[in-house]
Every structure is written in C-alpha cells, then in structure tokens.
Amino acid sequence: MLCFCDKTEGYKTYDWWQQSIVYQIYPLSFKDSNGDGYGDINGIIEKLDYIKDIGVDIIWVQPFYKSPMLDLGYDVADYRAVDSLFGTLDDFKNLIKRTHEKGNSGLTCPEDYGTPDILKEYLGNETHPGAQIAFYNRLVHLLTPNTNSSGVEKWVRSMIDNFPEGYYNWVVSTRHTNGFTKAKKPWVPVNPNYYRMNVNAQRVNPNSHLNIFKRLVQLRRTPVIRYGDLQTFAPKEWIFMFTRSVETETVAVVMNIGSETEEVCAQNSATALPDTMFVYTSSMHSGFSVGYSILLLIFLLPNLKLN
C-alpha cells in the first residue's frame, strides 16, 4: 500500500454505521470461558480489551440463540433465549453493558447472499427504509485461485455501481478456530502452529498480520479512505490496483494475486499518481518496509500467496 499524504480536513460526517469498523465473532470458535471446549458469551467479555486495542468500533456476534445446533446455531429455535452452550441471557446483558463501558457498541446483523441488484432493493430505499448495514460476502465466495485481476475488478465495480454511496461493505473474513480458547479439547482442533502464530507473538512483530491490520484500521479513519474517490485498475493479468484520492492525498493499493513475482510500473498502471509515494503498510513478505519511499518507476511485487 502506497501513500502520498497531505493532511485534509473539513469533510462531511457520515453516520456512525457508515464509518465504523465491525468485528465479526462466531462465538462458538472465539473463546471458551468454562473449559467445555465451546466458545461462549463470557469468553467474548474476557477479550473486550483486545477487541478495543485493535481499533474495532462495533462487535457483530453471530447467532447464539437457543438452537438444536444442526446448522451451527443458524437454525434458531427461539429468538428470545440464549442457548445454554453459549451462556445465559444475563451473560448477554452483561456483554452489552461491558461493551458499552469499553466505548464500543454491540449489535447483530442479518446476513444475505443475494446479488447486488437484489440487495439494493432493500438498502434504505423508499420501500424498505430501515436497513442500515449490509453484510455482503458474495465477493469472497466468487473469488477463486483462478480469478485474475480483471475478474476482481469486475466484481469490485459491481459492488460500487450497484450500491448507493456509503452502503457498500466489503467483507473479507477468516474463520477463527478457537483462537483464544484454553480448553484442552476445543470443539474443532486448533492449528498446531498456535505456539508461534498467536496474538502475543504478533504484537511484538511490527510486520505481523495483527500490526498490519491495526495500521489499516488507522488508515481507514483518514479522509482519503472515508471520502476519497475510487479508481480500479487491472494493468496486468495478475496485478490488481485501486486508488483512493481526495484533493492532494492519494492511497494506492497494489496487489499481486498470481503465483509469480511480477514487475509493476505503478505510474503506467494507474492514472495521476505522484512521482514519489511512501509505503504505509505492506503484506508480510513483500519486502517493502513501512515508511519506505518509492519513486514510481518499476518495482517487483511478490505474489500474495507468499505474503
């Protein structure tokens, strides 16, 4: 990610739900607080400081209602009861209370797997004015190892062109596998690399995914990302780029989604880039250091699979 930054102020304020960063928790796989191997509501409460630390505004908790658990809790039997696997209704009330004490807002969201043109029918239009946040992960499901940069660009444009301003919401998620659980036998196995791939190890590594995420959260709060216009580019089959620009500030994201190292000339690939940019953040093994200045001539970009 390359930045050419100049402080800008004086932009309009969006509603909280348009600019917040939402953290999705599948409670069964988050943290088990009582050692039965299943994540629960009290486990979430125990990690609220961590969630606050990484810069999240809102917690989105996936279903924890009373359920026969034939579909991992999505098969809700009673929307007014908490399944005993996750705790009690008082635990949930405590979660809400403690979340607000930390300065976050908890909420749940419906999920939808329709196409953009169908979804936009109820995203705040005259017929259905109530919807505020769309969870939309179709983009992730449509991407395969064979999707090239034109394919990525097509779906990004589909999102942008079909949703009203401020509504589009890109979701890229990884499924937690009992990440914080200390139970000896969690309900699904923990990756055996947990002893080196964990939050404590990543906290002290400035180039870890955790710290990259925290830098992206900070960038997400700047005017250029909140208000800047978007341009997308597919300059090579496996290089996808997009830029966000506002006044004199530009952020360029350059991704190599192929399997080989690619040679990239960013200035020839995107329009109106300045001569010099600096690296705001980079993926783990890209070889670019934070703060590194890049004259926009030609650089080599390792593929994302290595990163």
Q: Which residue is nearest to Ca ion (CB)?
A: 40
- The residue range among 34-42, 129-137, 270-278, 294-302 that interacts with Ca ion, by the rule CB under 5 A, is 34-42
Is residue 185 part of the contact set for Ca ion (CB under 5 A)?
no
Phi/psi for 183 (5° steps) reads -60, 145
How remote is the C-alpha of 259 from its chain's centroid? 23
CB of 189 to Ca ion, least distance (A): 16
Q: Quick one: which segment of 36-44, 214-222, 243-251, 289-297 binds Ca ion (CB under 5 A)?
A: 36-44
Q: How far apart are CA 287 and CA 147, in angstroms?
A: 24
22 vs 190, beta carbon nearer Ca ion: 190
Using CB under 5 A, pick the residue from 11, 14, 36, 125 that binds Ca ion.
36
Question: Quick one: which segment of 25-33, 112-120, 130-138, 185-193 binds Ca ion (CB under 5 A)?
Answer: 25-33
DSSP collapsed to 3 states, 273-306: CCCEEEECCCCCCCCCCCCCEEECCCEEECCHHH
Residues 6+ apart with CB under 8 A from 241: 232, 233, 234, 235, 252, 253, 254, 255, 266, 269, 270
Block residue for tokens 């635990």? 91
Q: Per CB under 5 A, which region of 4-12, 33-41, 51-59, 114-122 contacts Ca ion?
A: 33-41
Query: To 5 degrees, how large is the angle CA 259–CA 260–CA 261?
Result: 135
* Inter-residue contact 272 to 244 (CB < 8 Å): no
Select 91 or 262, whichever has its Cβ closest to Ca ion: 91
β strands within 76-196, DSSP E:
78-82, 105-107
Burial category of 209 from C-beta neighbours within 10 Å (exposed 0-12, middle 13-18, buried 19 and up)? middle
Q: Whose Cβ is closer to Ca ion: residue 73's or residue 258's?
A: 73
In angstroms, what is the minimal distance from the CB of 188 to Ca ion?
Answer: 13
Least spacing, CB of residue 35 vs Ca ion, in Å: 7
Task: Find, among 275, 276, 262, the residue nearest to 234 by Cα.
Answer: 262
Provide, rounded to whole angstroms, the least separation between the CB of residue 71 and Ca ion: 19
- The C-alpha atoms of residue 217 and residue 52 are separated, in whole angstroms, by 12
Q: Is 26 in the site for Ca ion (CB under 5 A)?
A: no
Q: In angstroms, give the least distance from the CB of 73 to Ca ion.
A: 13
Cβ at position 70, least distance to Ca ion in Å: 19
- Least spacing, CB of residue 256 vs Ca ion, in Å: 41
40 binds Ca ion, rule: CB under 5 A: yes
Determine the Cα–Cα distance for residues 160 and 270; give it in Å rounded to an integer.
18
d(CA 297, CA 169): 33
Q: Which residue has the tokens 């909280």?
A: 16
Stretch that binds Ca ion, among 3-11, 31-39, 45-53, 191-199 (CB under 5 A): 31-39
Tell whether residue 34 is a contact of Ca ion (CB under 5 A).
Answer: yes
Residue with token string 């109530």: 130
Among 4, 26, 30, 38, interactor with Ca ion by CB under 5 A: 38
Q: Is 191 in the site for Ca ion (CB under 5 A)?
A: no
Q: Is 32 an interacting residue with respect to Ca ion (CB under 5 A)?
A: yes
Is 136 near Ca ion (CB under 5 A)? no
Number of residues that bind Ca ion (CB under 5 A): 5
Q: Is 188 in the site for Ca ion (CB under 5 A)?
A: no
- Residues within the interface to Ca ion (CB under 5 A): 32, 34, 36, 38, 40
